[in-house]
Structure 1
Amino acid sequence: MPVDATPDPYANPLAFGQRMQILREKRGMSRPVLAGLLGVSPSWVKKVESGQMHMPKLSMILRIAEALRVRDLADLTGDQSMPADLFIGPGHPRLGAVKAAVDAFPLGQDREAPPAAHLQHRLARAWSARHKAPNHREVVGELLPELIRDAQLTVRQADTAADRRAAQAILSEVYSLAQFFVAYQPDSALLWRVAERGMVAAQDSEDPHAIGVAAWLAAQAHRDSGPGHFDAADAVNLEALRYLEPLLPDASDTVLAITGALQFEAGYTAARRGENGTAWGWWDKANRIAARLPGSYYHPVTSFSRAIMGAHAVTVAVELRAGGESVRQAVAADTLTIPSRPRLARHRIEEARAYQLDGQAETALATLEKAHKAAPETIRYNGYARRIVLEEVEAKSPERRQRAATLATELGLLAA
């Protein structure tokens, strides 16, 4: 082979450090930023990437994978015999049926569309069922295909411009429900297709609430794609807020809630960037909006409410890697009443992250067990929870290893 030929990556595989550097640069992340996320010095990152240090222990590999949003550990380690997809959960059995409904392009009108009011009632029941069910993806996945087809049909058969706008608002919310189902499953193209269709339907509806919800979900999709997409997340988020803020003096509870949810999302992205003051500033704005809502109000899509602000504070502190503050916020929020089982499970996962960040691994594992009890499907599809469980499987304490292994087996991370 000529000396200037392209190396065969299988004959001479890349070292761990080289893979780490490639993945870091692909995310548009500097060494100091990665070092800050890992709690190490930039020189440590440089030594690993340059090969001056050997591959770190599993606990640090998992932290690197989380920081770089690596989907499969094999992409980082190069060991194809031990693939572990951290941030994508298993494909749900109902994913194919939902995908078929989204991808269909029916033009015929072989039946009469259900009335918009009937469709809205079904959608409200679907959201309620999702919040109550521990197996919420199963429940939503069963309802979605018919909801998608009926909402599309209602739009096509609308008689007037006003009816069509109302139907588009419903269709947009159906796509929002679909995005909750599709998220963290192994079909990112489908996720973006659902998000974009939801945005288009919301814009066509001219409904402020529908537009806000679609923007809220689109911003999350951008942010979860990694640091290189944070600016896109902010662009969508801030544009929606500029649109909604003039409406706030006389806004309904739903418009207030989606505005507050968008403000928190802006703070969440700022926290991911490590911007402490900006992150808490947005949290304060969202908290002021929450105070304007009735005490019993709970937004069915975003979970925005007075009750959720304590959980949001935990998330901000965790993303800022503030261990002590994270635990303080977790303790303060522990008495919260969150009526949604999947949202409560997500909060427990954030609490577990706080305790692990503070070095309280035993409490972190116990908190994940609470999350699993609240909603097994939430923790099964959550990359942070999967990372903590896998790390604890390697713990020095035999008791902790056993508890982690039991939970890992229940999550499908280890063979039964």
Structure 2
Amino acid sequence: MSENATPDPYADPLRFGQRAQILRERRGMTQAQVADLLGVSPHTYRKIENGQQKAPGIETVLRLAEILRVRDLADLTGRPEARVDLFVGPGHPRLTAVKAAIDGFPLTNRVEPPPVAHLEARLHAAWKARHASMNHREAIGALLPDLIRDAQALVRHCGSAVERRAAQALLAQTYSLAQFFLAYQPDSYLLWRAAERGMIAAQESEDPHAIGVASWLLAQAHRDSGSRHYDAADLVNLEAIRFLKPLLPEASDDVLAIAGALEFELGYTAARRQETGTAWRHWDKANDIAARLPETYYHPVTSFSHAVMRAHAVTVAVELRQGGESVRQAARAEQSVIKSRPRRARHRIEEARGYQLDNQPDVAVASLEKAYEAAPETIRYNGYAKAILLEEIESTQAPRRRRAADLAGKVGLLTA
């Protein structure tokens, strides 16, 4: 290896601080940025990297892994026996088939397209299956390859501009469904292809709802790529909101809801930046939009609704690291019923993060158990849930340690 090459964090012997420095630099982050997100002074964080301070406790290690988007805890600790996937689960058995359908671009008309109404009905059924299933990747992964190929064929066979726009809207919706399957799978480039192709198809469709959904998903892809991409996430969200704003006075419930979902995404990203006032201001705006919707309404893609806005309040407080406020918001949200199983599980995980911040680890583990009951696959692929369980497996309290270990075994956390 040349003198100018970036060291390999697997190479021994490397101190914990050296590994943290290498991984931080690979993400293009400064020491000050990491220190701010970690909740310590730049001076303290500098001492961690320089080895002038003993290796931090597991809570700090896991928080640092989260900030640096470390996919395997061994990358940070240098301990192969602690090899744990934190942010990306093992590839789903149906990933290969879904990937082949997304990557394929047939240039001939060998595939006979289905009638538009038939494809619409299949997509509607797929979204229902996604929300109702305890293991939504299995449910939609079985449907996606044929849906993708048929939607692509429908676009190719269009005979008029009107037909083509309608077909592009269905193709955009299909790519949106694919992104829910691809999230936390070990192929981030495939997720980006689906997100960008979905955005292009939505723009070609000129359908406001399709454009809003594609923007919502593309913004999330940017935000989840790390802090350097937060501005890009905001840019996508803001542009979509500006596009939809003139339509809102007479908009359908679905268009109104996607506008609200986009508004909340701005708040979510602000919370990630620790911008408290901005985060809650966007939550308020999104909540005002939700208030215009019927009490029983649920957006078919995002689950945006009265109930989910209460769950979103928990997320904002958690991202701002406000433990007490997270718990208060969780208590308010407890009265709400989130119909989507994976979304309900995601809320329980956010709730668990809040209880962990508030030093209530037993309640945090109980919340993760509820997440598992709602949708085992959701918790299996969620890095935050894994981080909490990994911490509580080491608890000095035997009952909590046993509960955490039991759940960790169910989700495959410690599987080699």
Q: TM-score range by the shorter chain?
A: over 0.9
Aligned residue type for 1:148? I
1:349 aligns with 2:328: no
For 1:141 and 1:7, locate their aligned partners in 2 and report how far apart those are by CA, in whole Å.
38
Post-superposition CA distance 1:37-83 (Å, at most 9, x none): 33433332121111101222333211210122211212212234432
Partner of 2:271: 271
For 1:7 and 1:267, locate their aligned partners in 2 and report how far apart those are by CA, in whole Å.
36
TM-score (norm 2): 0.96
1:94 aligns with 2:94: yes
- Conservation of the 8 A alpha-carbon contact between 1:37 and 1:321: no
Q: Equivalences for 1:57-76 in 2 at 5 Å? A: 57-76=57-76
Aligned residue type for 2:282? W
Partner of 2:235: 235
The answer to which of 263-272 and 41-50 deviates more is 41-50
For 2:228 and 2:413, locate their aligned partners in 1 and report how far apart those are by CA, in whole Å.
29
Partner of 1:370: 370
Q: Equivalences for 1:248-397 in 2 at 5 Å? A: 248-397=248-397
Aligned residue type for 1:78? G
For 1:6 and 1:262, locate their aligned partners in 2 and report how far apart those are by CA, in whole Å.
41
Q: Alpha carbons of 1:118 and 1:320: their partners in 2 closer, same or farther (altered >3 Å)?
A: same
Q: Equivalences for 1:77-226 in 2 at 5 Å? A: 77-226=77-226
RMSD in angstroms over aligned alpha carbons? 1.9
For 1:122 and 1:341, locate their aligned partners in 2 and report how far apart those are by CA, in whole Å.
20
Post-superposition CA distance 1:221-253 (Å, at most 9, x none): 010011011011111111111111111111111
Unaligned runs of 5+ in 1: none
Alpha-carbon deviation of 1:121? 1.0
Identity %: 67
For 2:24 and 2:404, locate their aligned partners in 1 and report how far apart those are by CA, in whole Å.
29
Which secondary structure does the structure 1 equivalent of 2:209 belong to? Answer: helix
Aligned residue type for 2:373? K
The answer to which of 33-42 and 258-267 deviates more is 33-42
Aligned residue type for 2:288? R
- Conservation of the 8 A alpha-carbon contact between 1:222 and 1:232: yes
Post-superposition CA distance 1:91-138 (Å, at most 9, x none): 110101101111112122234311111111110110001111101110
- Conservation of the 8 A alpha-carbon contact between 2:307 and 2:338: yes
Alpha-carbon deviation of 1:28? 4.3
For 2:396 and 2:36, locate their aligned partners in 1 and report how far apart those are by CA, in whole Å.
26
Aligned residue type for 2:353? R
Post-superposition CA distance 1:162-209 (Å, at most 9, x none): 000000000001000000000100011111111111011001101111
For 1:82 and 1:332, locate their aligned partners in 2 and report how far apart those are by CA, in whole Å.
38
Q: Alpha carbons of 1:242 and 1:6: their partners in 2 closer, same or farther (altered >3 Å)?
A: closer
Aligned residue type for 1:15? R
For 1:49 and 1:345, locate their aligned partners in 2 and report how far apart those are by CA, in whole Å.
36
Which secondary structure does the structure 1 equivalent of 2:143 belong to? Answer: helix
For 1:255 and 1:6, locate their aligned partners in 2 and report how far apart those are by CA, in whole Å.
50
For 2:401 and 2:223, locate their aligned partners in 1 and report how far apart those are by CA, in whole Å.
33
Alpha-carbon deviation of 1:281? 0.6
For 2:309 and 2:153, locate their aligned partners in 1 and report how far apart those are by CA, in whole Å.
38
For 2:27 and 2:277, locate their aligned partners in 1 and report how far apart those are by CA, in whole Å.
24
Partner of 1:413: 413
For 2:31 and 2:91, locate their aligned partners in 1 and report how far apart those are by CA, in whole Å.
34
Aligned residue type for 1:76? L
Aligned residue type for 1:123? L
Q: Alpha carbons of 1:195 and 1:11: their partners in 2 closer, same or farther (altered >3 Å)?
A: closer
Which secondary structure does the structure 1 equivalent of 2:265 belong to? Answer: helix
For 1:27 and 1:313, locate their aligned partners in 2 and report how far apart those are by CA, in whole Å.
29
Q: Alpha carbons of 1:5 and 1:62: their partners in 2 closer, same or farther (altered >3 Å)?
A: closer
- Conservation of the 8 A alpha-carbon contact between 1:27 and 1:227: no
- Conservation of the 8 A alpha-carbon contact between 1:405 and 1:414: no
TM-score (norm 1): 0.96
